Every structure is written in structure tokens, then in C-alpha cells.
A = this chain, B = another copy of it.
Amino acid sequence: MAKAKAGGIAGDQLESIIQRIERLEEEKAALAGDIREVFAEAKGNGFDTKILRQVLKLRKMDKADRQEQDAILELYLNALGMID
């Protein structure tokens, strides 16, 4: 009900939420721009961006894979009553 009338508290809250998110998204977009620049620079130095992306992707997957391995190990140990 608090939010029933416009211009009320809910209106202020809404405005605040929107602004905070828009601010964060600006920063995020700026970082995306920085990343693009690094790629462009790398390309200028003769690196193949496609390969670069593939390397990055693989490293990310490896990391995720390791985390999965740990998670499943823990899950099994847990199921066997060996931890927790």
C-alpha cells in the first residue's frame, strides 16, 4: 500500500533503484570498452583475437571444471557420510 500513491516513498525508492543500476551498468559498459581496447591493442601487435578468445574461454572452462570436480567430490563424500 505504501507504494499506492505516486510521488510517495515508493516513487523515491524507485528512482533510487533505477539510478543505482544505471550507474553500475555504466561502469560495466566502461569495462567492456576497456576489454575491447586490450583486444584491439593485441591485434595491433600481431595476435589473433580469435585464438585469444579461445584461450580465455578454455581457461575459464578449466577453472569451472575444477570447481565442478571439487563440488562433486564433496557431494560424494557427503553422501558417504565422510564429511560434515
This protein's copies in its complex: 4
Taking a contact as CB atoms closer than 8 A, the residue among B22, B42, B73, B77 that contacts A17 in the complex is B42
Taking a contact as CB atoms closer than 8 A, the residue among B1, B22, B82 that contacts A56 in the complex is B22
Chain B nearest CB, measured from A38 CB (Å): 5
Mark out the residues of chain A between 48 and 65 whose CB falls within 8 Å of any chain B CB in the assembled complex. 48, 50-52, 54-59, 61-62, 64-65
Mark out the residues of chain A between 8 and 44 whose CB falls within 8 Å of any chain B CB in the assembled complex. 10, 13-14, 17-18, 20-22, 24-25, 27-28, 31-32, 34-35, 38-39, 41-42
Interface residues of A (CB under 8 A from B): 1-6, 10, 13-14, 17-18, 20-22, 24-25, 27-28, 31-32, 34-35, 38-39, 41-42, 45-48, 50-52, 54-59, 61-62, 64-65, 68-69, 71-73, 75-77, 79-83
